[in-house]
Amino acid sequence: MKVTLKTVAEEAGLSITTVSRALAGYDDVNEDTRRRIVAIAQRLGYQPNLAARHLRSKQTHTIGMVIPLTSYFSDPFFMELLSGVGRQAAEYGYDLLLSAQQPGEEELSAYRRMVASSRIDGVVLARVLADDPRIAFLKEAHHPFVAFGRSNANDYPYIDVDGATGVYHLVGHLIERGHRRIAMILSPRKLAFTTARFEGYQRALGEAGIALVEQYVVESDLTQEGGRAVAQRLLDLPSPPTAIVACNDAMAIGAMQAIRACGLAVGRDVAVAGFDDIPTAAFTDPPLTTVRQPIYDIGRRALDMLICVIRQKPLDEAHVLLVPELIVRQSSGAPPIR
Amino acid sequence: MKVTLKTVAEEAGLSITTVSRALAGYDDVNEDTRRRIVAIAQRLGYQPNLAARHLRSKQTHTIGMVIPLTSYFSDPFFMELLSGVGRQAAEYGYDLLLSAQQPGEEELSAYRRMVASSRIDGVVLARVLADDPRIAFLKEAHHPFVAFGRSNANDYPYIDVDGATGVYHLVGHLIERGHRRIAMILSPRKLAFTTARFEGYQRALGEAGIALVEQYVVESDLTQEGGRAVAQRLLDLPSPPTAIVACNDAMAIGAMQAIRACGLAVGRDVAVAGFDDIPTAAFTDPPLTTVRQPIYDIGRRALDMLICVIRQKPLDEAHVLLVPELIVRQSSGAPPIR
DNA sequence: ATTGACATCCAAAACGTTTTGGATTATGGT
DNA sequence: ACCATAATCCAAAACGTTTTGGATGTCAAT
């Protein structure tokens, strides 16, 4: 019932070895018999058992990704990255193995399982932490991987976006429009990119001679609801900011909700800007000014790099740094009232 | 270097069999030795080789999904479904194997490969066609699967949304607002749900005594750009519609673009409505009236069903039909001008 | 007739696991 | 002392593939 090499071999009156080598295209089998074998395999609908093949050859043609369960659903970031990686993987004939896990210990052990159980040839990881145990583990295990993001230790292949420069331009844009009281909603500090984006904020303020106001720098959890909550607090300050920059679009959209809830108009009373340029950003009301990360393309390029690492080919660039693009829309529209 | 059952067995001075059975929790191994074995396995960092395990036991703890490459990126529908399936799979300790493929022959052969190469225990498929070769194949192969959507042959487990009723209510809502010239942008006819949604349209018009105008029924490809193009043609008619209903939100958003491009106001001059309630729908300008499909939850329930099928447990319901919810927003806001 | 070169094929081992069907020892009842 | 039972362990087979290291036959050149 199940058709294996053996079935084909018996049908052809040949050995398993010959069938295997014929199908693999080795040149030590007669061209005529090869064609005959291929025909029979086709007719019987033979499909190699990949478990057996992997067991023997230690190659799975599969790329692993672990998705944090918290952000799995609501996070367009991962979806887009996934799309890029998946798309490019298909290009190379690779499949994608996804494991959704709670961040933390479970997540790390998912990596451990994936790697040690030899189900995958390589890993793409994202949202790297400043001090990332997953990277430490993968490095120590000598398992091929590429990261989207830099961490403290940078002796591994990564692709990243220059968040510092991105936010620098974004805040510069707001300053140009006359804003002086500019708040920033940070992402959790342990995420590597938080520091970079905060740096850009500080640099832009510094060059414009604007002192950093401690109360204007708040932290949230990358979700829309979190952004709404902290923006609420910002607006309740005795001297509220006239512009709010968030570390990602989801939080920026949350901030827009908070502003509207106060009876203020986004873009007219308070400017808002985000980071990422998720698809929704172009459709918010008003459309969101943001910094565009080409996440989809990053996914594709990360996979390109990973394939090189897997095949032990030298990478032309082991560290890719992309300069993000400022997307000005109406949410940063008007100059501040006073 | 690589730690296998053998390594652990040697370290413990026991046989491979005993180690295997100890770790699997069989009761024919002494509790003390079991604990000792577990400790050693832990210490050495033993992880079972899944390829070997699958080869032997024919269970992969993996669910397969094939994503059409065309809609992979731009389609929030698949992303959300994927999220639900992935999330619930994690709940059961299953992983997800994704293969992105061009629709058509390649796609079918991806299913063939996945199934015949015994990499997966079951399949979730979506966007079923009226006459779906993938379903025919999976049925014939007796491979566990659950579909999101009904096709012509319905002797398989599926979960679906009652699109006819959904569109019926949606069109009813537009008629209530005074619209009589209501156009519909259909999805490709070969998709099973197209027929259902069209039925709802016809029924609503029929009950209101409105004759179906052939030119008001057009077909497009589920993309935003496609929706824009056909909406353009609708607006160029001598007697253009005052309301446009699209088979999905993406095309509805395209229609909104076309309306604006004509210098008309969406919701005031021409009403627009979609289907799906993708995340973006709440943020368009004006927000989009639509029919909500709980895609994420559908993904989760589909996986619940699939697990039952895989474990050969009886399904409480082999055919789940959800009634979608009408979401009224501003895009259907005003009554027509004349 | 022998040799070497070449083309074509194959038996057997190996990958790491699970499972089958005992083997061995200890225990308690007669 | 003997047997039945239970508790604990294990050798070997099996899963389906790839790879190694020949084996066999043919043919041309010596």
- Cβ separation of A296 and B50 shorter than 8 Å? no
How many Cβ pairs within 8 Å bridge chains A and B? Answer: 128
What was the pLDDT predicted at A336?
54
Relative to beta strand B158-161, strand B319-322 is parallel
Question: How many other C-beta atoms lie within 10 A of the C-beta of residue A315?
Answer: 14
Chain Cα centroid distance, residue B238: 38
pLDDT (mean) for A297-324: 94
The DSSP secondary-structure symbol of B8 reads H
Contacts of A150 (CB under 8 A, 6+ apart): A128, A158, A160, A192, A319
- List the single protein residue with the shortest CA to C1' distance from D6: B28
Q: By the CB < 8 Å criterion, does B285 face chain A?
A: yes
**What is the residue type of B215?**
Q
Q: Name beta bridge partners: B270.
A: B266
> How far apart, in whole angstroms, are the C-alpha atoms of residue A159 and residue A172?
25
CA of A300 to C1' of C6 (A): 47
> How far apart, in whole angstroms, are the C-alpha atoms of residue B151 and residue B154?
6
| Token pair for A37 | 């074998």
In terms of Cα–Cα distance, which of B240, B183, B250 is closest to B210? B183
For residues A184 and A216, the answer to whether their CB atoms sit within 8 Å is yes
Q: Positive or negative, the Cα torsion across B140, B145, B151, B156? A: positive
pTM: 0.84
> How far apart, in whole angstroms, are the C-alpha atoms of residue B211 and residue B194?
20
> Which range, of A54-58, B210-214, B242-246, averages the lowest pLDDT?
A54-58
* Cα–Cα distances in angstroms (integers) from residue B37 to residues A113, B17, B47, in the given order: 19, 12, 13
> Which range, of A51-55, A98-102, A188-192, A255-259, averages the lowest pLDDT?
A98-102
- Helix ranges restricted to H, A262-310: 295-310
A74 has a pLDDT exceeding 80: no
For residues A266 and A331, the answer to whether their CB atoms sit within 8 Å is yes
In terms of Cα–Cα distance, which of A105, A121, A104 is closest to A311? A121
Relative to beta strand A290-292, strand A325-327 is antiparallel
Contacts 24+ apart (CB under 8 A), B223-226: B223/B74, B223/B250, B223/B251, B223/B254, B224/B74, B224/B250, B224/B251, B224/B253, B224/B254, B224/B257, B225/B254, B226/B251, B226/B254
Q: B55: which nucleotide lies closest, measuring CA to C1'?
A: D15
Protein footprint on strand C: which nucleotides are under 7 Å from a CB?
7-12, 14-20, 22
What confidence tens digit (pLDDT) does each residue in B33-81 have?
999 999 999 999 999 999 999 999 988 999 999 887 765 445 678 878 8
> How far apart, in whole angstroms, are the C-alpha atoms of residue B114 and residue A50?
9
Strand C and A51 CB separated by under 7 Å: no
> How far apart, in whole angstroms, are the C-alpha atoms of residue B267 and residue B290?
13
Would you mind telling me the total number of residues written for chain A in this entry? 338
CA of B27 to C1' of C20 (A): 16
Q: By the CB < 8 Å criterion, does B23 face chain A?
A: no
What confidence tens digit (pLDDT) does each residue in A80-109 have?
888 889 889 988 888 899 888 887 888 888
> Which range, of A105-109, A118-122, A164-168, A237-241, averages the lowest pLDDT?
A105-109
What was the pLDDT predicted at B335?
62
Torsion of CA B334, B202, B78, B84, to 10 degrees: 90
Question: How many other C-beta atoms lie within 10 A of the C-beta of residue B284?
Answer: 26
The DSSP secondary-structure symbol of A239 reads S
pLDDT band at B281 (very low <50, low <70, confident <90, very high): confident
What was the pLDDT predicted at A224?
85
| Token pair for A78 | 């991962």
- The per-residue DSSP string of A82-137 comes to HHHHHHHHHHHT-EEEEEEE-TTHHHHHHHHHHHHTT--SEEEEES-BTT-HHHHH
What confidence tens digit (pLDDT) does each residue in B179-189 have?
999 999 999 99
Kindly report whether the peptide bond that precedes residue B286 is cis, defined as omega within 30 degrees of 0.
Answer: yes
The closest CB to that of B50, out of A79, A82, A119, belongs to A119
∠B179-B182-B186 over CA atoms, to 5°? 150
A181 has a pLDDT exceeding 90: yes
**What is the residue type of B132?**
D
Q: Name beta bridge partners: B322.
A: B161
For residues B185 and B245, the answer to whether their CB atoms sit within 8 Å is yes
Closest residue in chain A to residue B3, using alpha carbons only: A116
Protein footprint on strand D: which nucleotides are under 7 Å from a CB?
7-12, 14-20, 22
